[in-house]
Amino acid sequence: MSEAPVPVIAIDGPSASGKGTVAERVARELGWHYLDSGALYRLVAVAAARAGLSLDDEGRLAETCAAMTIEFRDGKAWLDGIDASEDLRSEATGIAASKVAAYPRVRTVLLTRQRGFRRLPGLVADGRDMGSVVFPEARLKVFLTAALPVRAERRHKQLMEKGMYAKMPDVVEDLRRRDERDATRPVAPLRHYSDALFLDTSGMTADAAVATILGWWRERSEP
């Protein structure tokens, strides 16, 4: 008799929707592993910057992606043995990662690595194509979003807490451009698929969002 597949909760959504915070907390509550797929694309962007690669060179970016060594330990992200945690959090890295993620060859290389995070007792994965491409068989798929002004306020607060000055209109425009780029890319565009439950967190706390997803999971897990 074959073993039961490792359960997966896939949480997708746009930038600054709060999906990372929520997904990580859901994983902690369940005692499962957590995959921040966006961190992998950010690591590719950091590796490219360290190597002086052009973000227009899809071939070299894919090669870099295949060769780099990635570790997540001690609450940090390590790239080729060097702590890259601070680099990952920069706004420039986020913008570069969004562009890198649009390349089919880069996505193909990372697909196997992402699926490698699926281990017992389960996995909570967040990103933009977790439920549509990486884990299409996930038992629970969630599309987590929030209104653009709300997401802009959240991102602006994050930047200010990091000591990074940013004008609100610039933050709004940056998110709008990212939304457009993610929704119109030819490979795995970001969208709310019919088999994903929709969760608008505009008027919700993170606690409420976590509780909602855990409730959905309990419903899906009942025999």
Q: How many CA atoms lie within 13 A of 85 on its CB side?
A: 8
Please state the rounded mean pLDDT for residues 131-160.
94
Write the CA distances from 168 to 40, 90, 96, 171, integer angstroms: 27, 17, 20, 5
pLDDT band for position 158 (cuts 50, 70, 90): confident
- Comparing 32-46, 160-174, 189-203, 209-223, the range with the smallest average pLDDT is 160-174
154: CB partners within 8 A, 6+ apart: 16, 18, 146
Please state the rounded mean pLDDT for residues 118-125.
96
98: CB partners within 8 A, 6+ apart: 15, 41, 178, 181, 182
Annotated binding residue at 2? no
CATH 3.40.50.300 in the chain, residue ranges: 7-32+121-223, 38-120
Q: What is the pLDDT of residue 2?
A: 46
> Which CATH number is correct for 38-120, 3.90.480.10, 3.30.1780.10, 3.40.50.300, 3.40.640.10?
3.40.50.300
Q: Which 3 state secondary structure label does DSSP give 122? A: coil
* Structural Rg of the chain based on CA atoms: 17
Nearest Cα to Cα of residue 131 among 118, 113, 143: 143
- Between 160 and 223, whose confidence is greater? 160
Nearest Cα to Cα of residue 24 among 201, 215, 210, 222: 210
Q: Which strands sit side by side in the sheet containing 8-12, from one edge to the other?
A: 33-36, 123-127, 8-12, 140-145, 197-200
Write down the mean pLDDT value for the chain: 91
Annotated binding residue at 17? yes
Q: What is the pLDDT of residue 76?
A: 83
Nearest Cα to Cα of residue 145 among 202, 206, 203, 197: 202
3-state helix, strand, coil in the chain (%, to 5): 50, 15, 35
First to last CA, the chain: 19
Please state the rounded mean pLDDT for residues 194-217.
96
What topology does CATH give the domain 7-32+121-223? Rossmann fold (3.40.50)
Residue 1 has pLDDT above 70, yes or no: no
Q: What is the pLDDT of residue 68?
A: 93
Residue 58 has pLDDT above 90, yes or no: yes
Please state the rounded mean pLDDT for residues 119-123.
96
Annotated binding residue at 19? yes
Cβ–Cβ contacts within 10 Å for residue 71, how many?
13
- Between 223 and 183, whose confidence is greater? 183
Please state the rounded mean pLDDT for residues 89-94.
84
